[in-house]
């Protein structure tokens, strides 16, 4: 089934809700939707769990909001979904930008409704290169994404999906047109302003203090050939800030490993959920 949760500012957050059992909640990446998690949601729901995935405001089937396209509001929207569905003892899993949303949710709302968390190819602690974060990416990288979004958003998404996101630009890689088309379709369903604003949200938000508030078992999983969110300033740093984090590195895996390495990821996620 699928439905909507209305937040306090009137935004309608779309969610899908599959299966029965302990809830496993999935938070997606930019500029995608809950559809990007479908392989994992299908897998956990087929194995006795309740899989829930929402479309972030301005993305997918949720309201294309002009305002609130930043991490505090994203986290509060996620809290609204948790409260509307009265989810308890949940496993909260975030991919890429969604990993930032998970971190900020825990930073703002705590872990009282959570049993475990997982950060997959996730943006925390901070993507942007600063004096305090020399391993980050320079602002010019994100300015370039913004410029591409304004110039030809459709082509930008095709270029990202056809190149670095799934690692299809690597020697010997065999591109899947289906994966590229799915990425493009999900991206184009999102609002222009919302997806534009989200570039700042995922790149400039510092999640360091949020990560220090994690007090539940947490899986940090990343590919070491991630060209979108390089592992050194992301998973390797996050796993040091989170108490009792389990770090899992996929050798040679790209950013979009939810599709390229889905069999391995599905197994590892289910093992983590069951543990």
What are the catalytic residues?
Answer: 96, 226, 255
Question: Hey, how many other C-beta atoms are within 10 angstroms of the C-beta on 121?
Answer: 29
- Interatomic CA distance for residues 91 and 272, integer angstroms: 10
Token readout for 60 is 């997918």
d(CA 274, CA 267): 11
Query: What count of other Cβ atoms lies within 10 Å of the Cβ of residue 164?
Result: 18
Rounded distance, CA 275 to CA 273, Å?
6
The answer to whether 105 touches 94, Cβ cutoff 8 Å, is: no
d(CA 259, CA 85): 28
Enter the tokens of residue 186.
């999900």
Instruction: Give all strands (DSSP E) within the chain, no chain letters.
Output: 2-6, 12-18, 23-27, 50-54, 90-95, 114-120, 218-223, 245-250
Give the 3-state DSSP-derived string for 34-101, with helices as H, strands as E and coil as C.
HHHHHHHHHHHHCCCCEEEEECCCCCCCCCCCCCCCCHHHHHHHHHHHHHHCCCCCEEEEEECHHHHH
Torsion of CA 37, 39, 42, 43, to 10 degrees: -120
DSSP summary character for residue 21: S
């Amino acid at each position: 089934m699928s439905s909507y949760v209305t937040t306090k500012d009137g935004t309608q957050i779309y969610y899908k809700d599959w299966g029965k059992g302990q809830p496993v909640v999935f938070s997606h990446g930019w500029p995608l939707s809950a559809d990007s998690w479908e392989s994992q949601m299908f897998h956990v729901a087929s194995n006795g769990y309740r899989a829930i995935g929402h479309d972030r405001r301005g993305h997918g089937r949720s309201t294309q909001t002009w305002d609130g396209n930043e991490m505090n509001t994203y986290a509060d929207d996620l809290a609204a979904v948790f409260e509307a569905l009265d989810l308890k003892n949940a496993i909260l899993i975030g991919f890429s930008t969604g990993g930032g949303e998970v971190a900020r949710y825990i930073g703002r709302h705590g872990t009282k409704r959570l049993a475990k968390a997982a950060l997959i190819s996730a943006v925390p602690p901070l993507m942007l290169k600063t004096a305090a974060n020399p391993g980050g990416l320079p602002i010019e990288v994100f300015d370039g994404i913004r410029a591409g979004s304004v110039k030809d958003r459709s082509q930008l998404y095709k270029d990202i999906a056809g190149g670095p996101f799934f690692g299809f630009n690597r020697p010997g890689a065999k591109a899947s047109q289906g994966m590229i088309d799915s990425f493009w379709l999900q991206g184009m369903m999102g609002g222009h302003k919302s997806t534009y604003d989200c570039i700042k949200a995922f790149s400039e938000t510092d999640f360091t203090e949020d990560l220090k508030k994690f007090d539940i078992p947490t899986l940090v999983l990343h590919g070491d050939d991630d060209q979108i969110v390089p592992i050194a300033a992301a998973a390797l740093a996050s796993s040091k800030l989170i108490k009792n984090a389990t770090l899992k590195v996929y050798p040679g895996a790209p950013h979009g490993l939810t599709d390229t390495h889905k069999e391995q990821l599905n197994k590892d996620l289910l093992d983590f959920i069951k543990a």
